Structure 1
Amino acid sequence: METKGEVETFFIVTRGKTRKGFSRGYIGHVEAETQHGELMGLVYGGGSSVSSTKSRGVVKKEDTYLLSRHQAQLLLFVCPPSKRLDLLCNPQLFAAICQLSQDDLVVLKHKKAYHPGLVKNLMQIGRKENQGDLLMLGFEVEFVDTDQTTSSKKPAPLPLFSAADIVQVVPACSQGLHWKDVPFDGLSRKTVSRINSMPNLGSRRQHVKESQTDHKVMQSQTPKVSHIPFEVGSMVEVMSNTGITVFGVIRWIGAPEGKKSNWAGIELDYEVKGCSDGKYKGQQYFSCKDSSALFVPLTKCSPDRRFLYSPTEKDILRSPDISPVPSLGETDAPPIPESEAQSLLVGKMKGIQGHFNSCYLDVTLFSLFSSSKTLDSVCQSPADTEQHISHTLRKDIVNRLRRDGFVPADSVMNFRKQLGCDSFVTEEKDPEEFITVLLQHVLCTEPLLKFRSCRGVSQDAYTFQIILEKEQVGQTPTVQQLLETSFLSCDLKFEEIPSCLMLQMPRFGNRYKMFPHIIPSTELDITDLLYNSPRDCFLCGRLAEYECSQCLQDPRLQPGRIKQYCATCKTQVHTHPSRQGHCPRALTVSSDVPADGPIPRHKMHLFAVLCIHTSHYVSFVKYGPNPHSWLFFDSMADRCGDDQTGYNIPEIRACPQVGDFLSQAEDKLVCADPSQAGEPVRRLLCDSYMCLYQSESMALHR
């Protein structure tokens, strides 16, 4: 065993299972390193407010990322531990946070909203009682009002924030670019005394601000911005007088009444308090949603950085004498939680940007990976064993979507080229064709579905096409009815419970639909579709011993439902003259199953619906357990520019009305008029192409 000597080394656990006190996101202090590449030392709790709470443990070195003491203290105040890894995976932001100085301008996420503020103090949390204690660090921040002055109320204790609460650090050279003619230096700031026990914030970042390099950057940016030939339809960004950058599309250019120079009327990606619906000083210049129109001098507009990379911006946020935290390639972003989905995803330029016949691929990837964890275990394979294309999918699409809420078209096009077939780059495909290639050749996973016919023949597949005659179900069937009828028609059963079930609706091509409306069942009960699984009698609830496919459409026995019976009910039902010609089939029942015991139900839950209309695919995605948590995604909702030089504008909208509609009882759903439920619901029922279900109790493994 080798000791580390006098050098203090801290680390954060980035992957691996819990082992002797260490879990992902936990922070440790190295005391020794073994010859086998293991780190031994103190581990500081997983989100405990008491930083001295610690234990000793062992972790593999390759499962950690080394930290400085300052970084470890900042991350220790972040709770829960998973957020620490999320912050580290944004190296540019974390490097800037580590270099914050007094009176630096930041943007904070607080109470589900974004607020500008001034850093006033760096606080140590707790009291060092023992030599091994690592004190947490947090920032005292003074909020800045939108009128460019701080509050005049009686001074109150400043709120304390962790590094994870900071979503943007405003570069020093950008702090003079505001759409009001009020200099940033004129901001009225109240003085907050430094607490004696607080360590010095340091002057390193202040030195960077005043350095000749940044001065040259500031000099070079103004003419660069003012001479860009913006036009109606240009995607731009503007920094507000509060230091928050907003994004939008120019909808009008001209000189408003009372102004001599050209101004831009911008439709923002999201609503902002104080903005209009396209009016400026009572004059209507264009129309948009309320609180979404912003009018600024044209010289204050900059190209949208999401599509035009600026190398100087990266240099500004990075301190020249401290190396930024590198990206943690082995740490994957988790699915977007329900509480953050709307703030991260809803709006224009959200989701996956479409490009050149890519909508089939865009909506499939968004549906499978934005909020669902069904395929995570095969997508998040170790980097040293995966193919390059799998790494591209995970790093450039899945992680980027989950962390940033947006994937640009070039990342998707790079992935399409790596699929190895020119048709994936140039042609429109069907989602099921892409899903098979994705799972079989990219993720190298076994087929998700394993079937067995009653004649003992086994089959497997990645998706399932519902096949049946139109007369077998009603005019407005549910997916539950379609699946059960199709299984009986094809003489199939599931050999095992699938983790993910992707069902193609009964339609042919882009135009012909067998049914005008299909009701997506939010819960899919597959208990009666499992091979050799115990089932209960359709009538009395006792253990079933027989199944009769000919009873499926009997109008007296709930038509459309699979019928299985115990021996007694089978005899009674088939004494009726209309059923005497039926041929019930005996079920294989284990002798260990009690005849009167409860039969567990196996249900799968709807998490996405892919829709098609006039050869264009869109999707509805359920992003959480709340019945109203539905999103609508269109990767080509709008377009900026022409076919040669323009680009598509993806958009995501919240659709709680879909949840309202699907929450109704089944008998009401079948009789409901989709045209009265609104456009999203009508589109969901009329254009459904593929319904995606997941089993919450099953995990997909290689």
Structure 2
Amino acid sequence: MEPKTVVKEKFFVVLRGKSRKGFCRGCIGRVEAETQRGELVGLLYGSGSNAGTPKSGGVVRREDIYPLTRHQAQLLLFISSASKRLELLCNPQLFSAICDLSQNDLVVVKHKKGHLPGLVKNLMQIGRKDHKDDLHMLGFEVEFVDSDHNLSSKKPAPLPLFSAADIVQVVPSYSVPLGLQWRDGKYGGRKAVTRISSMPNIGSRAHQVRENHAEQSVTQSQSLSTCHVPLEVGSMVEVMSNMGITVYGVVRWLGLPAGKTDEWAGIELDYEVNGCSDGKYGDQRYFTCKESRALFVPVTKCSPDSRFVCSSPGRETPKPTEAPPVPPFEDSEEDASPIPESEVLSLLVGKMKGIQGHINSCYLDATLFSLFSSSVTLDNICQKPADTEQPTTCTLRKIVNRLRRQGFVPADSVMNFRKQLGCDTFQTEEKDPEEFITVLFQEVLCMEPLLKLRSRGETSQGAYTFQIFLEKEQMGQMPTVQQLLDTSCLSGDLKFEEMPSCLMVQMPRFGNKYKMFSHIIPSTELDITDLLYNSPRECFLCGHLAEYECLECLPDRKLQPGRIKQYCTTCNTQVHSHHMRQGHSPKGLEVPADVPSDSPLPRHTMQLFAVLCIQTSHYVSFVKYGADPHSWLFFDSMADRCGNDQSGYNIPEIRACPELGDFLSESEEVLAQANPSHTPELVRRLLCDSYMFLYQNPATPLSKSNHQEP
């Protein structure tokens, strides 16, 4: 089919999609033509010395690109790493501010000595431009400001050259101390520059601060710094550094450090700053974050992050569906695959990431993010033929595709889904995740129960989640999920009739306040071999084929308490000859006739991929996004808020938490002795607030065969 000619020159960057015909994520191209199917044919700009010269191109889908101006394309072209280009685009307000930079604008740049302030002196064109189709690469010459707030007076030397990706902050003129002197002695005449925002909505434009509003901006900044707004863990704040640079971050800890008498705040900054730590102050660790991002200051030095404060009188605060602006999304027939591990951090981590919460939707937001953000096992569960889909299924697929392609789902999409569920309480009230999961799999996805449970040898019953029931006296103070599941199944005489593809285990917690256990240790691997009905099992002691199991032996301190005890005939006789076990009543097992008694038996295990947590009626989630033990994310759909309850909007946030991998890599013995109060903040939340653990069996992913017949 012949392509249609495109008259107007257009540049673009590829945001998503599989690499095909010359294009991959992060590459820059120019549209040459459009096919009848709506796909774009374009030229590809390479890298290195010939970066500005287009090569033979290929075909890319319109929904997989983001359009660029020539100026934007040239700035991105000087960034050699495709992933760093995409990372910059995930902060569109910063990118917008960088595109608007002019001479003598103040910026903070990444440097071998850390993050340093400096003045933009020149916009440099790099590379040759032999033909009209070629592009110059654009970089910035920056002159550093020394620690005395004066420009360096050392012998002139060639100014260092920085790409757009090296600029971590564009400093608006009104946030610079009035005492800062410039070389020409002028301050007030500088052009006010866009204040950047960390809201990652590609295509949105930051509010432009013009010269005639500079005085008003100074007044607003001063009023924000003097107002007494109560801070709490999770509040977004700004702090004026000693060098006169405003830094931004999130409060991770509040309290009294050793040797201090006033309340201090531990802040995780948006980027690395020299002299900062990884969450330690002195010899004490108060939280954990990346190196050089933890700043400790008195609370009085903190102000609410003015990028998210809507304090202008007479200015209406945007509604959740109107602000912040989000890029348009056109869903395609092709379902988005789970986000590759290598791309998760650049696409998902940050503020205004994940699923935006609204009106008690956190139970739904956290559940959807846990199930669909990165799980390979659940990849096919909503891939049904289009002609048989219900509106709710279509809406769900759009939410999943938008999350995986753009990294952000606005509140109106989820509110529409809640409305389509057909129950008023889904729209306005907070519900339990297990109730939503049942409706999701049964009515929206039309899937058969994920679990088939057999009780006391009777006919199996279907279920979508597994609720732990047991007596507190049966367990220690800090049980593992494995111990809870084993004890609950044995106490209720329950067995899994077959190996499930997905097992969601609800902890023994009833209501929003009552917890049976103050801390629960996650089991990263769940072994259900001994919980499968009519499946061959090993003797607990000798490893031969088991013929008996004993519930009374479960808590025995001499026999690994918490572990299921099943025995061959010989070991059963020996164990129960002990005077303390003679009153036990071992139960005979149904042993398959064709299994040799001494042959090794395979183990059936499931892998932890997400955890739902609750604290004071608010749900959040932890998600394992890759094979690396440190590949963990923390998601909160309502981490912060802009505006009031009537007219504001929630700010979701996703944080990387590799410290969780360090903690879970320890042995169960070490974990059982851990003091949660001395662990990093997110590790403590996982131990104390766990509500439901989600496990998957990668060997048997859910597929269309699990769907009920329409």
SS in structure 2 at match of 1:308: coil
SS in structure 2 at match of 1:573: helix
Partner in structure 2 of residue 431 of structure 1: 433
Partner in structure 1 of residue 20 of structure 2: 19
- Check 1:292–1:514 CA distance in 2 against 1; reply closer, same or farther (3 A cut): closer
TM-score (norm 2): 0.63
Partner in structure 2 of residue 199 of structure 1: none
Is residue 106 of structure 1 aligned with residue 107 of structure 2? Answer: yes
Q: Following the alignment from structure 1 to structure 2, what is the Cα–Cα distance between the partners of residues 245 and 465?
A: 46
2:229 alignment partner AA: G
- Check 1:549–1:515 CA distance in 2 against 1; reply closer, same or farther (3 A cut): farther
Partner in structure 1 of residue 212 of structure 2: 216
Structure 1 range deviating more: 427-436 or 655-664: 655-664
**Residue 43 of structure 2 contacts residue 54 of structure 2 at CA under 8 Å; is this kept in 1?**
no
1:150-229 matches, cutoff 5 A: 150-153=151-154, 157-170=158-171, 174-182=172-180, 214-218=210-214, 221=217
Partner in structure 1 of residue 550 of structure 2: 550
Structure 1 range deviating more: 213-222 or 646-655: 646-655
Partner in structure 2 of residue 304 of structure 1: 306
Q: Following the alignment from structure 1 to structure 2, what is the Cα–Cα distance between the partners of residues 11 and 336?
A: 25
Q: Following the alignment from structure 1 to structure 2, what is the Cα–Cα distance between the partners of residues 345 and 62?
A: 23
- Give the superposition deviation at 1:465: 1.0
Is residue 450 of structure 1 aligned with residue 446 of structure 2? Answer: no
SS in structure 2 at match of 1:291: strand
**Residue 451 of structure 1 contacts residue 493 of structure 1 at CA under 8 Å; is this kept in 2?**
yes
- Give the superposition deviation at 1:391: 8.6
- Give the superposition deviation at 1:478: 1.5
**Residue 517 of structure 1 contacts residue 685 of structure 1 at CA under 8 Å; is this kept in 2?**
yes
Cα root mean square deviation, aligned: 6.2
> Which residue of the other structure, out of 589, 603, 611, is the alignment partner of 1:584?
589
Partner in structure 1 of residue 667 of structure 2: 665
Partner in structure 1 of residue 494 of structure 2: 491
TM-score (norm 1): 0.64
1:43 alignment partner AA: L
2:571 alignment partner AA: V
2:179 alignment partner AA: D
Partner in structure 1 of residue 289 of structure 2: none
Q: Following the alignment from structure 2 to structure 1, what is the Cα–Cα distance between the partners of residues 677 and 304?
A: 43
**Residue 117 of structure 1 contacts residue 142 of structure 1 at CA under 8 Å; is this kept in 2?**
yes
1:362-377 matches, cutoff 5 A: none
- Give the superposition deviation at 1:505: 1.2
- Check 1:111–1:449 CA distance in 2 against 1; reply closer, same or farther (3 A cut): farther
SS in structure 2 at match of 1:586: coil
Is residue 505 of structure 1 aligned with residue 507 of structure 2? Answer: yes
- Give the superposition deviation at 1:99: 3.8
- Check 1:572–1:635 CA distance in 2 against 1; reply closer, same or farther (3 A cut): same
* Unpaired segments ≥5 residues, structure 2: 188-207, 232-236, 252-262, 277-294, 316-324, 577-583, 705-710
SS in structure 2 at match of 1:604: strand
- Check 1:686–1:5 CA distance in 2 against 1; reply closer, same or farther (3 A cut): closer
- Give the superposition deviation at 1:226: 7.0
Q: Following the alignment from structure 1 to structure 2, what is the Cα–Cα distance between the partners of residues 376 and 144?
A: 51
Partner in structure 1 of residue 203 of structure 2: none
Q: Following the alignment from structure 1 to structure 2, what is the Cα–Cα distance between the partners of residues 16 and 243?
A: 39
Q: Deviations over 1:229-251 (max 9, x none)?
A: 974227886777755464799xx
Q: Following the alignment from structure 1 to structure 2, what is the Cα–Cα distance between the partners of residues 589 and 114?
A: 69
Q: Deviations over 1:594-615 (max 9, x none)?
A: 99689476341364351446x6
2:433 alignment partner AA: P
Partner in structure 2 of residue 97 of structure 1: 98
Structure 1 range deviating more: 505-514 or 331-340: 331-340
SS in structure 1 at match of 2:59: strand
- Check 1:412–1:180 CA distance in 2 against 1; reply closer, same or farther (3 A cut): farther
- Give the superposition deviation at 1:503: 1.8
SS in structure 2 at match of 1:20: coil
Is residue 561 of structure 1 aligned with residue 563 of structure 2? Answer: yes
Q: Deviations over 1:18-63 (max 9, x none)?
A: 3333333333344554444443444345x77863695543334454
Partner in structure 1 of residue 74 of structure 2: 73
> Which residue of the other structure, out of 286, 291, 299, is the alignment partner of 2:297?
291
Q: Following the alignment from structure 1 to structure 2, what is the Cα–Cα distance between the partners of residues 624 and 4?
A: 43
Identity of paired residues, percent?
A: 55
- Give the superposition deviation at 1:449: 3.0
Q: Following the alignment from structure 2 to structure 1, what is the Cα–Cα distance between the partners of residues 619 and 475?
A: 26
- Give the superposition deviation at 1:537: 6.6
> Which residue of the other structure, out of 602, 605, 611, is the alignment partner of 1:602?
605
**Residue 542 of structure 2 contacts residue 571 of structure 2 at CA under 8 Å; is this kept in 1?**
no
Q: Following the alignment from structure 1 to structure 2, what is the Cα–Cα distance between the partners of residues 536 and 48?
A: 60
- Give the superposition deviation at 1:643: 9.5
Partner in structure 2 of residue 233 of structure 1: 229
Q: Following the alignment from structure 2 to structure 1, what is the Cα–Cα distance between the partners of residues 307 and 118?
A: 23
SS in structure 2 at match of 1:182: coil
Count of aligned pairs: 617
**Residue 606 of structure 1 contacts residue 693 of structure 1 at CA under 8 Å; is this kept in 2?**
yes
Partner in structure 2 of residue 197 of structure 1: none
Q: Following the alignment from structure 2 to structure 1, what is the Cα–Cα distance between the partners of residues 34 and 638?
A: 53
Q: Deviations over 1:198-242 (max 9, x none)?
A: xxxxxxxxxxxxx9x934333655567678997422788677775
SS in structure 2 at match of 1:519: coil
Q: Following the alignment from structure 1 to structure 2, what is the Cα–Cα distance between the partners of residues 479 and 41?
A: 53
1:175 alignment partner AA: S
Is residue 463 of structure 1 aligned with residue 465 of structure 2? Answer: yes
SS in structure 1 at match of 2:693: strand
2:210 alignment partner AA: D
- Give the superposition deviation at 1:480: 0.7
Partner in structure 1 of residue 205 of structure 2: none
Is residue 120 of structure 1 aligned with residue 118 of structure 2? Answer: no
- Check 1:219–1:169 CA distance in 2 against 1; reply closer, same or farther (3 A cut): same
- Give the superposition deviation at 1:69: 4.0
**Residue 118 of structure 1 contacts residue 141 of structure 1 at CA under 8 Å; is this kept in 2?**
yes
1:584 alignment partner AA: L
**Residue 453 of structure 2 contacts residue 463 of structure 2 at CA under 8 Å; is this kept in 1?**
no
Structure 1 range deviating more: 58-67 or 691-700: 691-700
- Give the superposition deviation at 1:306: 1.1
- Give the superposition deviation at 1:175: 1.2
1:602 alignment partner AA: T
- Give the superposition deviation at 1:583: 1.6
**Residue 611 of structure 1 contacts residue 684 of structure 1 at CA under 8 Å; is this kept in 2?**
no
SS in structure 2 at match of 1:585: coil
1:305 alignment partner AA: R
SS in structure 1 at match of 2:297: coil
**Residue 363 of structure 1 contacts residue 619 of structure 1 at CA under 8 Å; is this kept in 2?**
yes
